[in-house]
A = this chain, B = another copy of it.
Amino acid sequence: MALRTVEQYYESLKDLHPKTYILGQKVENPHEHPLIKHMLAGVAETYALAQEPEGREYLVTESKLIGEEVSRFVKFYESRDDLLAKVRMLKFLAQRIGTCFMRCTGMDAINSVGIETYNCDQKYGTNYYERFLNFVKYMQKNDFVVFSGVTDVKGDRSLRPSEQKDPDMYLHVVAKNDDGIVVRGAKIHQTGSICAHWGLIVPTREMREADKDYAVCFAIPVDAEGLIHIYGRGTLEARELQDCDLGNINYSKFAPMVIFKDVFVPWEQVFLCGEHEFAGPMVRNFGNYHRHSHGGCKCGVGDVLIGAAALSADYNGLPRVSHINNKLAEMLKTTEAIYGCSIAASVEAEPTASGIYMVDPVLSNVSKLYEGKELAEVIRMMIEIAGGMVADVPSDKDFENPEIGPLLVKYLKGVEGVSTEDRVRLFRLIEKLAFESRDIVSNIHGAGSPETHKMTILRNADIESKKKLAKRLAGIREN
């Protein structure tokens, strides 16, 4: 198959039965649930676009592993161009979907795990890398959606995994036998878990000797025995439950919590198990890659924010106002910096021992830092340009009411030539872009939090060599 159609994607989900709870209810067909189906639609769109000429350019590539065309979402980054192509693909998709499409965590995890399984084998003579290549080939041949399970619930943040009162606050191995391992724990913020076919589970932090049971990496089908997906509430759910006022009329994002209730994993799906020194690099690789991914997708969403803001100015009758133009330029400043630093992180990437290329960590973390810290201001400016109507537009259902509908059409009219309905649609989109908590919180906490990015930048920026530059210019002799 290698390239799945959108119909094949939907079809494939029918065979999957992830154990799912939504708002306190066990749900039999989660893929059809009103709070899930718009999330699925974003994933589906990535399949649809891969079949169209423009999307194909971005989404389809060749795999050396299987010698076939594959989705870029399941390919290794084998060159700087692959990394550039990734950023541009994600920008392209985000411009069309306007929110998360939930396939990047898997892509980034595949590359992170690829690097470290190789390194681990080199050090310990394990055969994780070969196993992992088999897994990747299988993903490629079936064009599967992979979610990546990184973030543990963490308990008391001041304590290491092995120091927690409850040992399950980080996912860990609780049993081993000849066939495989049994794991227990919980991963939160699992972008797209219910939309996926497989999960690739990665440690969430560096581990020490004492934490070695927590240094575990493996793949798992989303409906494996013992896996439980619990829906995490977003902000605009009344709209989906009532099927109106959606804002983004097709797509939305979600991030369930996934509990591992003593889940068995056969050895061929295990890619790290106790070699604790590779846990840290694995998650740091993931972080650097995933911040790099955000540089593409969040710039793409940024283009939607800017377009929505500019359009609202038109619809309000203020198309060429100086302060609005100033704000649009400021918005572009941030979104293009996010994108530009991600492009630059691709150009300055270097190959690892495995042959997989690692992005420049300073630049990819700088990109994410702009997202985490400055994108909130871009959104604020969009609201400022759009006006107060973002807060309190009446419902589609009010427009349908024969008594007040016509009054609303009359009074919510903006500039001539634009229907009230379209103006209201735009305000709803802006509301969705500004207030969907999963998107906004992802800007800040997705792929790690700003403080993590700062630490990563400092660790990689070679401050010592910069001190030498200053010394030389000041006439200070090195000792």
Contact = CB atoms under 8 A, between A and B. Distances in A.
Interface stretch (A48-56, A104-112, A325-333): A325-333
Nearest to A455: B329
Given A329-B454, A337-B370, A414-B156, A234 B392 contact: yes
A263 interface: no
A426 B51 CA distance: 46
Contacts of A303: 466, 469
A444 to B, nearest CB: 5
A237 B238 contact: yes
A175 B343 CA distance: 50
A466 B431 contact: no
Q: In the complex, which of the residues A234, A343, A416 has the most CB atoms of chain B within 10 Å of its own CB atom?
A: A343
Contact of A457 (B333, B469, B475): B333
A67 interface: no
A162 interface: no
Contact of A391 (B317, B328, B438, B463): B438
B96 A383 contact: no
Interface string A23-46: 111100000000000000000000
A471 interface: yes
Interface stretch (A9-17, A195-203, A277-285, A394-402): A394-402
9 contacts: A84-B347, A156-B415, A237-B238, A323-B326, A326-B454, A343-B343, A383-B445, A391-B440, A425-B475
A98 B474 CA distance: 10
Given A233-B395, A411-B153, A337 B317 contact: no
A13 B341 CA distance: 41
Interface in A233-262: 233-238, 241-242, 245, 247-251, 254-257, 259, 261
A458 B325 contact: yes
Interface string A391-427: 1111111111101100110111111100000100110
B23 A398 contact: yes
A325 B369 CA distance: 15
Contact of A317 (B155, B306, B388, B437): B155
Contacts of A390: 437, 441
Interface string A442-479: 10111001110011011001010111111111111100
A95 interface: yes
Contacts of A74: none
Contact of A366 (B316, B333, B429, B468): B333
Contact of A387 (B330, B442, B445): B445
A177 interface: no
Interface residues of A, number: 156
Given A238-B241, A323-B451, A398-B230, A250 B336 contact: no
B469 A304 contact: yes
Q: Return the 8 tightest CB-CB contacts between A and B, nearest first.
A: A232-B392, A24-B397, A307-B466, A391-B441, A156-B317, A340-B341, A340-B344, A329-B454
A363 interface: yes
A60 B252 CA distance: 49
Contacts of A123: none
A267 interface: no
A444 B380 contact: yes
A174 interface: no
B158 A256 contact: no
A89 to B, nearest CB: 15
Interface centre among A325, A394, A397, A411 (most CB of B within 10 A): A411
A362 to B, nearest CB: 6
Contacts of A276: none
Contacts of A290: none
A380 B371 CA distance: 12
A389 interface: yes
Given A337-B341, A344-B341, A332 B458 contact: yes
A274 interface: no
A151 interface: yes
A196 B425 CA distance: 30
